[in-house]
Amino acid sequence: MSGVRIVDMSFAPLLPGPYPPPGEIVPLSFLDTRWIHLQQPVQNLLLYPDSTLSSSSLHLFKTSLTQALSFFHPLSGKLTYRHATDQLVIDSSSPDCGVSVIEVESDLDIHRLINEENIDIIAFTNLVPSFSMDKLPVPVFAVQITKFVGGGVSVGTALHHTVMDGIGFWRFMETWAAICRDNGAPFQWHLQTSHDRDVILHPHKEVIATRFMKLLAPDLPQLPQAPKSLVQDRLRLTRHTFTLDHTAIKFLKQRACTQSDDQTIFVPSASIAIAAHVWVSLAKAKRLPKENDATSLWLLFDLRAYLKGMKNDVLFTGNCIRGVPVKSSGQDLTAPQGLANACLAISHAVKAVKERPLDGVERWPDEFKNRPTGMNVMVAGSARWGVYETDFGWGRPGRVELVSMNFDGEVSMLAGRDKGSVQATVALAGGQMEVFEKAFIAGLAQQGQSDYPGKARL
């Protein structure tokens, strides 16, 4: 065996309802239809080096998935186009609804996959499932569990972005892992889950949802086709994972404060400070010193705390994020106070979104499609996502990664494995990673020192 071998394929069925509102048919909002054009699922991988997979633990893994789906039933359904109402929905009404589970065996070295800072994208891709996204209806979720012959287990997932965003997904994973860890005991979630898109309040929300659908997927039920170069483009990217501990993050935030010329003293969040540091480091790596060298950062931002329809005691699982465009120049980012400039630009853009979270929603697809030419950075995830707490009873994972990164300048951010740390995975094309890494590490070094405070490595 070389790499991976499929051992079996099974199915975790959706248990009979009733299901919470809106029931087995979930009409999608414009925050969901915004993602209909994606040509591949969102793929995540969790590696557990110290676990073993017996027949009993595999059975519990699959039965606990069935139980967890009762709380998150849209994951069992199919993304469907209803011609009569010209509407996209997640349909869980069919008796064959559920989630495919692929069982795989691999002779790959899990410890190598965990410890290498540069991601082996071919190996990682073989450890996550996928599904066809050519024509509706299509499934929205799939699972792959891999047993390594040298010891260890991995869990790979594939998710259609229209069904939920990262917050909803990782809450599902937390629920599933807790049920499995507790040997199938009934799960008592401290928040009620809601899949009802009626909480998204906007006077023209149906019209906007339809407009996004027509603009991004004009030939429904046929979906936009992935270019043949998609796989090759992914392989051309180099991905490197940086983990910044509490000391390094504190140092970054202090540098942003002390460099700032703004009269208002502010302390950036960890997510903003790290996103700004990546942006500045990439500008330096690409040698963008000129004022007319335009550059932009696109930050995916969670709106749950800022929409009037949301309740504090209810977890909304659907998509509830928007892109926050931030613009700057090579001159501003590579200046001595570049980190502060970047933090201020991001903070001001985020503040405007907090005050008017759905402002200009009709233009969102056009804004992203018509991003300015030049260097672009896209940041997804959050330093608050505690993905390393996903324990199925095998201990905490040794590594968690977003596998489906396809763009030069893409950044995936997660809470790190160690307390107070943050993990940032950066994807770059064209042999830029070595130069970027030097700029990234140099930006964490104190003046007059060749090293950086704390840790900034995997």
pLDDT digits (tens, 9 = 90+) for 405-439: 988 999 999 999 999 999 999 999 878 899 999 99
Does residue 344 surpass a pLDDT of 60?
yes
Distance CA 408, CA 238 (A): 9
Q: Which of 25, 31, 126, 127 is nearest to 76 (CA)?
A: 25
pLDDT for 311: 75
What would the pLDDT profile of 186-210 be if each residue is shown by its tens digit?
Answer: 767 656 789 999 999 999 999 999 9
Torsion of CA 167, 349, 373, 231, to 10 degrees: -10
The position carrying tokens 């502060």 is 340
pLDDT average, residue stretch 233-250? 91
pLDDT average, residue stretch 60-75? 95
pLDDT for 454: 43
Distance CA 447, CA 167 (A): 38
Does residue 373 surpass a pLDDT of 80?
no
Torsion of CA 409, 410, 414, 418, to 10 degrees: -40
In the chain, the percentage of residues whose pLDDT exceeds 90 is 72
pLDDT for 34: 92
